[in-house]
Chain A
Amino acid sequence: MPLRTESPAKALVISNVTRRFRVARRVITALDHVTTQTSAGLVTGLIGPDAAGKTTLMRLIAGLLRPDEGAISVFGTDVGANPLAVQGMISYMPQHFGLYEDLSVRENLDLYADLQGVPAAERPARYAELLHMTGLHPFTSRLAGRLSGGMKQKLGLACTLIRPPRLLLLDEPTVGVDPVSRRELWQIVDHLVRGAGMSVLLSTAYLDEAARCDEVLLLHEGQLIGTGKPEDFTRAMQGRSFLAHAAGSPKRALQTALASTPGVTDSLIQGEAVRLVLEAGMAPAAIQPAGIAGLTLSPTPPRFEDRFVDLLRAKTSARGATPAPLPPAATAAPRAGAAIEVAHLTKRFGAFAAVDDISFTVQHGEIFGLLGANGAGKSTTFRMLCGLLPATSGHLRVDGFDLRATAAAARGRLGYMAQKFSLYGDLSVIQNLRFFASAYGLRGAHRTRRISWALREFELDDYANATSHDLPLGFKQRMALACALMHEPGVLFLDEPTSGVDPLARREFWRRINALADQGVTVLVTTHFMDEAEYCDHLVIMAQGRILASGTSESLKTAARTAALPAPTMEDAFISLIAASSAKPEEQAA
């Protein structure tokens, strides 16, 4: 049989591919001599933080871009030589899949069926299968624009699958999707490959999704830094991951101590414990952090992220394993009472309640997380807390100021770091710092002192005259944080601060945030990113404008523990809460 000769087939052969982009007068190397192969019939994960080159690689495979060097072939067909033939074999779902929002679900399917040449006779069966798989069958006549984010993503997937391709390219299909939809998307992908023998290349910035792939390509700043089965990645870290507890030492002090302990390559707060990765061959008993008594280390299974961090540290040894010592406290003395008080807060837009009677209290020096999917009401709550949006009803006080009465005074006490680092990209680092210092009303010697503090503390000296939008993502984030802290605020608001940032930059960021919290700064974080929730002292989970649950990450995970799921993750806890809340209205209706 001719098929035999293809086995073991390669879906993709990428040979020495380099792709550069010219932005203004600079040349950015998006992909740097990447050589790899993927196997047919498997789910290959293309994993890497933002700006790793994932989308560029996807577009090169799809024939939308041409490589500067090297070649790519799909099932033996060269993309450069014959893009139409390759496009006949693949389906591609771009990051923001272009659904026609003014067309219904059914009409979108019809369009892609026509484009992919699906014979009319085969359509009813195919539609039924896809609609069943995606759970969209009750909504076939609904306009695509009226679907929720998760449903849109599933419809996009259904459109790309209307004619089963040999290779399916999915560019970050799970980004910004709530955990429930994310899990459903993965079930569809699993079903496809296992059931239909399709090859899939799926890119993601969520490192925890690596474990769901059959094989993984790990991309960082345009370079392929690791390939293999996800188990290979974690196996390399076997016996090096531990959870540390120390009675009498707060977790942040423990983490700080452990971070500078010889033999520890990585330390991270996880719930109430500190997660450690030790140097290869290091015995847990040999870990002796200074000034910490009663340290207990319990082994924990290694994660994909541990290996990624290990590889990154090996590559960028210059950055060092031990972070710089913490700066002295530079914040105002904390006041008595709660830092943020929210009572019966409601925001209505017409008949729609974006935030529906929520209450919570945040103590001084606490890191507090607002967790929820897109559209849960996080951003609306955030804007009300910043005094940008008036509340319909309820009370809210930030650092002792009532936002309904003295929004301006309250705003002077807040620092805010927006999700996309709202900085002036055309200005240099120092110009941005000067601007924000002036905008916050700093002047004279005080202003000079704060700017030099920012350059020193955030290690931005070398970049002071660099144009902001040319900075690496991690440095942009540092600069955004520096700007938000310029006026020494007592309360710091962070909107999805580290989603898509590489794990080293994320660790560094949280080290600074932890140090600030230790100095008494109150930190409020909104995120849909389950990992970030682990860094918080206290969490509330929001859905449809309401608070579903609150507590520590430990208590929320414990509540989700069942016989079938003895060690639930934060995501499991989230999904079980969502499932419980959506079951309730049906009970009432019954």
Chain B
Amino acid sequence: MNAQLMRLHGLIRKETLQILRDPSSIAIAFVLPTLLLLLFGYGVSLDARHIGLGLVVGQPSAAATSFTAQFRHSPYFTPHDFANEPAAETALNNGEIDGFIWLQGNFARALAAGQSPAIALFVNGVDANNARLIENYVQQSWAGWLSRQAALAGAANPAPIAIESRIWFNPAVSSRDYLVPGLIAVIMTLTGALLTALVIAREWERGTMEALMVTRVSMHEILIAKIIPYFLLGMGGMVASVLIAVFLFGVPLLGSLIVLTLASSLFMLASLGMGLLISTVAKNQFVAGQIAIITTFLPAFILSGFIFDISSMPLPIRLLTHIVAARYFVAILQTLFLAGTVWPVLLPNLFALLVMAVLFLGLARLTAHKRLD
């Protein structure tokens, strides 16, 4: 065995033994992704369900009952009845309901007279997302109910156009199917960067790095010996995350597994490179951990398009998102999971990931040197 191979072999064996004996690496690679996926997968949902909706019916009538029945049978609402408008307003102010519909006393009469009666909708606008959902749903229900009433009455459809909407790529319009693939990217950012940054900072803290540097080991041997085991560990975490996504959350995986592996590998290398870069700056575990979270996890969370749509961001922020590797990986994952192997979307993103991996690993190699100053 030549000397260089022997050194690499020794370092990788050491790293592997440490991973096996020190539960913290395993925890970061497997427990952290599982925990975050469960937390976000079950906890975070952008779909409105069980919204407390107040119903104020000024004068009970068959028409009013028929209209409000739509809300009583909807999975999206939990209806509450109020005798009058002030009572509903109080409940809204107290946060007991998110909005209420007020059918005034002349509702049935106006309808019978062939007029289109006014209904009032009050919505708590603090949660803008929820408010918009309620508004849209109520408007759609109202329009739908009116046209059905008209059809029953034998009149022509009052609406000039009927919209037949069809939702592609996520037919169930489930936000979980959309969030979970993006979440995998966020988690893998943290795992990849945190693993390497912490492990190297630990070597600085314990003085093992100083001892290592005075041997004949060259810097790129030290880096390669760190990358290989943690790459494998990180990919293990990736596999676990994909399995959880597909089998626990039932997210469809339509694209090619080979492309998924390729993209994950590139992304993992970029993340590890980021971690190595952090470790050349931060020489204790606490600082390394903080930097890793602030420079990788938060941007991946906010600027990757995983939750917040990139195209609606202001231009400077949009430009900033281009240096967030997770952005490209989120796009790839969402495409591969929900749309399939769509090369025109995948290729530019894969290329960007390749550039990111080369950039971060290259920077890490340039900044790491066998000196303390």
The answer to whether A103 and B216 have CB atoms under 8 Å apart is no
| B22 sits at the interface (CB 8 A) | yes
| A62 sits at the interface (CB 8 A) | yes
| B18 sits at the interface (CB 8 A) | yes
Q: How many interface residues does A have (CB within 8 Å)?
A: 39
CA distance A90 to B211 in the complex (A): 12
| A111 sits at the interface (CB 8 A) | yes
Which candidate, B200-208, B293-301, B353-361, is the interface stretch facing chain A? B200-208
A107 and B17 contact, Cβ closer than 8 Å, known pairs A62-B214, A97-B211, A116-B215:
yes
Quick one: closest B residue to A91, CB to CB?
B214
- The residue from A84, A98, A110 contacting B216, defined by CB atoms under 8 A apart: A84
The answer to whether B206 and A98 have CB atoms under 8 Å apart is yes
Quick one: closest A residue to B22, CB to CB?
A102
* B residues near A510, Cβ cutoff 8 Å: none
A199 to chain B, nearest CB (A): 16
Overall SS of chain B's interface: helix
The answer to whether A96 and B207 have CB atoms under 8 Å apart is yes
The answer to whether A64 and B10 have CB atoms under 8 Å apart is no
Which candidate, B78-86, B235-243, B365-373, is the interface stretch facing chain A? B365-373
The answer to whether A64 and B370 have CB atoms under 8 Å apart is yes
Quick one: closest A residue to B204, CB to CB?
A98
A65 and B372 contact, Cβ closer than 8 Å, known pairs A88-B216, A98-B212, A111-B13:
yes
* B residues near A413, Cβ cutoff 8 Å: none
CA distance A501 to B371 in the complex (A): 29
Quick one: closest A residue to B373, CB to CB?
A65
CA distance A456 to B206 in the complex (A): 42
CA distance A116 to B3 in the complex (A): 8
B3 to chain A, nearest CB (A): 4
* A residues near B216, Cβ cutoff 8 Å: 84, 87-88, 115-117
Provide the B216-247 mask, 1 if CB < 8 A to any CB of A, else 0: 11100000000000000000000000000000
CA distance A307 to B165 in the complex (A): 96
CA distance A103 to B212 in the complex (A): 15
| A239 sits at the interface (CB 8 A) | no
* A residues near B322, Cβ cutoff 8 Å: none
- The residue from B18, B210, B212, B217 contacting A102, defined by CB atoms under 8 A apart: B18
B284 to chain A, nearest CB (A): 14
The answer to whether A102 and B21 have CB atoms under 8 Å apart is yes
B-contacting residues, A129-171, CB 8 Å: 143, 156, 159-160, 169
* B residues near A62, Cβ cutoff 8 Å: 214
The answer to whether B18 and A117 have CB atoms under 8 Å apart is no
* A residues near B11, Cβ cutoff 8 Å: 111, 114-115
| A505 sits at the interface (CB 8 A) | no
CA distance A98 to B205 in the complex (A): 9
CA distance A160 to B210 in the complex (A): 12
- The residue from A99, A107, A112, A169 contacting B215, defined by CB atoms under 8 A apart: A112
The answer to whether A111 and B14 have CB atoms under 8 Å apart is yes
B-contacting residues, A41-99, CB 8 Å: 59, 62-66, 83-84, 87-88, 90-99
CA distance A120 to B1 in the complex (A): 9
The 4 closest A-B pairs by CB, nearest first: A114-B10, A98-B208, A98-B207, A92-B214
Interface positions of A (Cβ within 8 A of B): 59, 62-66, 83-84, 87-88, 90-103, 107, 110-117, 120, 143, 156, 159-160, 169
CB pairs A–B below 8 angstroms (22 shown): A62-B214, A64-B210, A65-B371, A87-B216, A88-B216, A97-B207, A98-B207, A98-B211, A101-B206, A102-B22, A103-B17, A103-B18, A114-B7, A114-B9, A114-B10, A114-B11, A115-B212, A115-B216, A116-B215, A159-B211, A160-B211, A169-B214
